Amino acid sequence: MVKRLMVIISDALSALISKGEITTRYYNPGGFFDEVHILATNDDRANPSDLQTTVGRAKLFLYNMPLPRRAFIRTLGYRPWLLKQWARTGVLLARQIMPDLVRCYGNSFNGYLGVEIKHALGIPMIVSLHSHPEESRAEALDWKFRLVAIMHTTIEDMALRNADLVLPVYQSIASYAESRGAKNVRVVYNVLNSHLTRKRSYELHDPVRIVSVGRLYGGKNPENIIRAVADLDAHLTLVGDGPLLEYLKGVTRECGAEHKATFCRAISNDELCEMLPEFDIFAAHSVYSGPPKAVLEPLLTGLPVVLNHSDDHPCPELAKGEGKWVLLVKNTKEDYLRAFRRLIEDHELREQLGRRAYAHAQEHWAPSKMEAEVVGIYSKLTQKVQV
């Protein structure tokens, strides 16, 4: 019997491909399903051959169902009953596919559509949450964006209340989901890249190699990391693109660190994961309450990691490891510099931090464990349907 999964997303797949953020079996953990039908609620077109690895050996099908033009106005601020006409197309498609399970990555119009399909076909639906909506709304400066985001909460809450299972990818989102009416919440971290390998040597390179990975925008601005490296005999590799790219290049010129910093707008995730053990230290800055995928990956290799702690949005996962398997600092040049010097001068500390990071990360976030956990969830939900 052919097992079918319907994945509904709001992301632009072509953007993920161009940034190299493609992970093997990401949309089909464990190769559990024979067919994976990915429906995007936009008009972005992607080459299926570039995405085949994300579903393993399963047959891949791609569809687009963009929202109507001026949807906010035409639906009076995304009122659910006015979105039903748009959703009918997705329900009809689902009737043709007859999936065993619907999974929504993120919770936007895809979550609303998932609810409509669940009710129409009587099949289970999962919503996975990859960011904290309230943190994202809080940092919005434009009043129009704030208004749209507030009106959008109605369909967000609808999906959370009706999902058979809500899967936050880190702990702080779980309490948010429960507060919005989610009945069955289970934290399952992202299934990360299988190309991650263990760091074996903690001998320093000359100059010291420091790497920072993340989108270059306000919430993840690595400016103080750059300024700290300017005072070290070290070289910083920054992987990521974003609106702060040119500004940060200007920072390297201002503090005399042009020759100490290399900017890489995009590296495939496979290549990056293979490169990580060749660095000496990983450093990043984030104002969010969850451990980014870009931070979990170096921890899984055993790379010594320096991060900032956020007073506004503390990260439960990382706070537990302070001084044991991660160094948390204030987001200042001086604090990053002090942490870098400690790790450079103290070989025992550097190696212990890396080895403890590897052990902790493998226990909690190993790709094979996360993949097996999702397979178990899929098996349980689809068995209920068959019975």
pLDDT digits (tens, 9 = 90+) for 198-215: 999 999 999 999 999 999
Asked whether residue 330 is domain-assigned, the answer is yes
Residue corresponding to tokens 């995304």: 78
Residue 351 contacts residue 358 (beta carbons within 8 Å): no
Neighbouring CB atoms inside 10 A of 152's CB total 19
Number of alpha carbons in the 13 Å side-chain half-sphere of residue 29:
20
pLDDT of residue 76: 87
pLDDT of residue 311: 79
Residues 231 and 181 grouped into a single domain: no
Asked whether residue 15 is domain-assigned, the answer is yes
Asked whether residue 45 is domain-assigned, the answer is yes
Number of domains in the chain: 2
Tens-digit pLDDT profile for residues 348-368: 999 999 999 999 999 999 999
Residues 111 and 251 grouped into a single domain: no
Domain's final residue, options 154, 188, 222? 188
Residues 223 and 334 grouped into a single domain: yes
Number of alpha carbons in the 13 Å side-chain half-sphere of residue 46:
24
pLDDT confidence band for 145 (50 / 70 / 90): confident
pLDDT confidence band for 147 (50 / 70 / 90): confident
Asked whether residue 254 is domain-assigned, the answer is yes
Which residue spans within 70-182 are E strands per DSSP?
101-105, 125-129, 165-168
Domain with 270, as residue range(s), is 208-365
Residues 163 and 122 grouped into a single domain: yes
Residues 269 and 170 grouped into a single domain: no
Distance CA 305, CA 189 (A): 19
Residues 253 and 339 grouped into a single domain: yes
Asked whether residue 373 is domain-assigned, the answer is no
**pLDDT score of 139 more than 70:** no
Residues 182 and 233 grouped into a single domain: no
pLDDT of residue 193: 83
Task: For residue 272, give the CATH number of its domain.
Answer: 3.40.50.2000
pLDDT of residue 155: 93
Among residues of the chain, what percentage have pLDDT more than 70? 97
Asked whether residue 202 is domain-assigned, the answer is no
Residues 245 and 137 grouped into a single domain: no
Residues 213 and 270 grouped into a single domain: yes
Domain's final residue, options 131, 159, 188? 188
Q: Is the sign of the CA dihedral 307, 312, 315, 320 positive or negative?
A: positive
**More confident site: 72 or 184:** 184
Quickly list DSSP for 258-303.
GGGEEEES---HHHHHHHGGGSSEEEE---SSS--HHHHHHHHHT-
**More confident site: 19 or 330:** 330
Q: Is the pTM of this model over 0.85?
A: yes
pLDDT of residue 137: 67
pLDDT of residue 387: 46
**More confident site: 136 or 31:** 31
pLDDT of residue 184: 96
Residues 178 and 230 grouped into a single domain: no
Cα 49 vs. chain centroid, distance in angstroms? 22
Tens-digit pLDDT profile for residues 249-258: 999 999 999 9
Tens-digit pLDDT profile for residues 67-100: 988 888 988 888 999 999 999 999 999 999 999 9
Q: Is 76 left (phi over 0), alpha (psi -120 to 50) or beta?
A: left
CA trace torsion 273, 276, 278, 279 (10° rounding) = 170
Q: Show the CA angle centred on residue 365, arms to residues 126 and 288, nearest 5°.
A: 75
Residues 272 and 307 grouped into a single domain: yes
Which pair of structure tokens corresponds to residue 149?
Answer: 């985001």
Asked whether residue 68 is domain-assigned, the answer is yes
pLDDT of residue 151: 86
Asked whether residue 168 is domain-assigned, the answer is yes
Residue 379 contacts residue 32 (beta carbons within 8 Å): yes
CA distances from residue 368 to 22, 293, 294 in whole angstroms, order as listed: 17, 15, 18
**Cis check: omega of the bond before 207, within 30 degrees of 0:** yes
Average pLDDT of span 20-33: 92
CA trace torsion 136, 36, 273, 322 (10° rounding) = 40
Q: Which range in 5-19, 73-87, 90-104, 134-148 is most confidently predicted, on average pLDDT?
A: 90-104
Average pLDDT of span 217-240: 96
pLDDT confidence band for 385 (50 / 70 / 90): low
Distance CA 327, CA 325 (A): 7
Residue 283 contacts residue 306 (beta carbons within 8 Å): yes
CA distances from residue 266 to 142, 214, 238, 270, 343 in whole angstroms, order as listed: 28, 10, 10, 12, 28
Distance CA 114, CA 105 (A): 10
Residues 25 and 160 grouped into a single domain: yes
Residue corresponding to tokens 């010097």: 341
CA distances from residue 111 to 22, 81, 141 in whole angstroms, order as listed: 22, 15, 25
